[in-house]
Amino acid sequence: MERSVDGANLRRALGPLDGALITIGAVLGTAIFLTPADIAKALPHPDLILLAWVAGGLLTLAGALTYAEMGTMFPRAGGMYHFLKEAYGPLAGFLFGWASFFVIMSGGIAALAAGFGEYLGAFLPFFSPKNVLFSVAAGGLRWNLTGGGVAGVLAIAFLTGVNFAGVREGAWIQNLVTIVKLGALAALAGVGLFVKAPAHPDFTAPLPAAVLAPFGVAMISVLWAYDGWYCFALSAGEARDPGRTIPRGLIAGTVALIVIYGVINLVYLRALPIADLAQSPRAGEAAAQALFGPAAAKLTSAAILVSIFGCLSANVLTCSRIYQPMAEDGLFFQGLARVHPRSRVPSASLAAQGAWASILVVSGTFEQLYTYVIFVEVLFFTATGAAIYVLRRTHAATPRPYRAWGYPWVPALFVLCSLVLTANTLFERPTESLIGLGLLALGLPAYASWRRRSALARGVRLSS
């Protein structure tokens, strides 16, 4: 069996540009086209809308600066699994990987694949979610296999196959799609900033009396739009010169996202009055139609389709890196430790991730499952951010080619805001949060079983 506890047996093929494009690609999906309506409802003022996007970006940048230090300390496949394990012990790392495989990361891949099917169906009706191909009813329940589900599974299968060929091949597809969607956004921004504006945002208008509470509500949507910024850290084991590549990739990608989101939202504000923006669930298409006419809305749908595919590609590439080191540590299915002897990718983890995400797509359960683990996800963000303080004390001698800029204040800002988001999620969704903790607790007996088997296996080897 190929082993790569330190990442040395994975192919180190990713440079800083790859890291930046993976960071951008993992984030830029549908959110920038869909969430502006929710933000405009909460904050009906152009200054506050732009401020929310910049504030969310700066908070994300604080996270990137924090994670980058830990990535250079432990440049291994799996990223946060290692950060949590080294800071708090193997149980913390295991629970992150457990939740990631069964719901958080695989559920995110399933959601992107379903979204890809929905937008592809607008161009190819066979793949529409409304096209029911097969239906089964039992016990008062009905399961439908739709064209959208088939499209999602095919997208996952294709990208999984590409990544089987090697990390360079997977990154090449990812980079190409990201460049295409950046080109589409640049075209929208470049033209949208200079054509005659249908709307005239008043940046001098007085601010609403109550700002703090609605700003917090809007930040939830903004931070969801930035979700995925940490994905490059998961592929740290395949980064060339990790001490330079990891921080440059994470930081450059995050800064680029702040600029992209700020400019695109300025275009939206020039295209639609805030009241109309708040009533436009597909803000990107509505803005394109207002600026360029009805035909542009179809082109925007195509751009969204490419964005979803690129985001899906980045997640398939990076998230599969979590489970292989878990299996090597004896804390997951043993077969997932396998690294392909030629392409040097975690082939078994890729296959298992693709299979499980495909099941979630066609079952239609991923949306409900994902609502249960939002609290757990932000809890892991908080714990991972705080891990930098633990590691500074317990791993003081570990080389750090990069040290977090602004330590201890910048990581503290990230941890504090993550704590606020954690508390807000628990307050707003107490039932779902408790169910999510219950799903996480199901990992405890599995951890005990794998831990016991691993100890027994080590005992056999030591005695032989």
This prediction's pTM: 0.89
Per-residue pLDDT band for 229 (boundaries 50, 70, 90) equals: very high
Distance CA(102)–CA(440), nearest Å, equals 10
Instruction: Kindly state the average pLDDT of the residues 216-245.
Output: 89
Q: Is residue 128 domain-resident? A: yes
Check pLDDT > 50 for residue 49. yes
Per-residue pLDDT band for 462 (boundaries 50, 70, 90) equals: very low
pLDDT at residue 315, as a whole number: 94
Q: How many CB atoms lie within 10 A of CB 453?
A: 13
Per-residue pLDDT band for 5 (boundaries 50, 70, 90) equals: very low
Q: Is residue 3 domain-resident? A: no
Check pLDDT > 70 for residue 411. yes
Instruction: Kindly state the average pLDDT of the residues 13-33.
Output: 90
Per-residue pLDDT band for 210 (boundaries 50, 70, 90) equals: confident
Q: Is residue 403 domain-resident? A: yes
User: pLDDT by residue (tens digit) across 423-434?
Assistant: 877 887 888 889
Q: Is residue 363 domain-resident? A: yes
- Retrieve residue 169's tokens: 């091949």
Q: Is residue 4 domain-resident? A: no
Total tally of structural domains belonging to the chain: 1
pLDDT at residue 412, as a whole number: 96
Q: Is residue 179 domain-resident? A: yes
Instruction: Kindly state the average pLDDT of the residues 205-228.
Output: 85
Q: Is residue 48 domain-resident? A: yes
Check pLDDT > 90 for residue 415. yes
Per-residue pLDDT band for 324 (boundaries 50, 70, 90) equals: very high
Look up the domain containing 175 and give its range: 16-463
Question: Can you give the CATH number for the domain in which 214 is found?
Answer: 1.20.1740.10
Terminal CA-CA length for the chain: 19
Per-residue pLDDT band for 464 (boundaries 50, 70, 90) equals: very low
Which amino acid type is present at position 74? Answer: F
Q: Is residue 162 domain-resident? A: yes
Is the alpha carbon torsion for 450, 456, 458, 460 positive or negative?
A: negative
Spell 195-225 as b/e; 16+ CB within 10 A means b. Answer: eeeebebeeeeeeeeeeeebbebbbbbbbeb
CB neighbour list of residue 117: distance below 8 Å, 6 or more residues apart: 127, 128, 129, 146, 147, 148, 149, 150, 151, 152, 155, 361
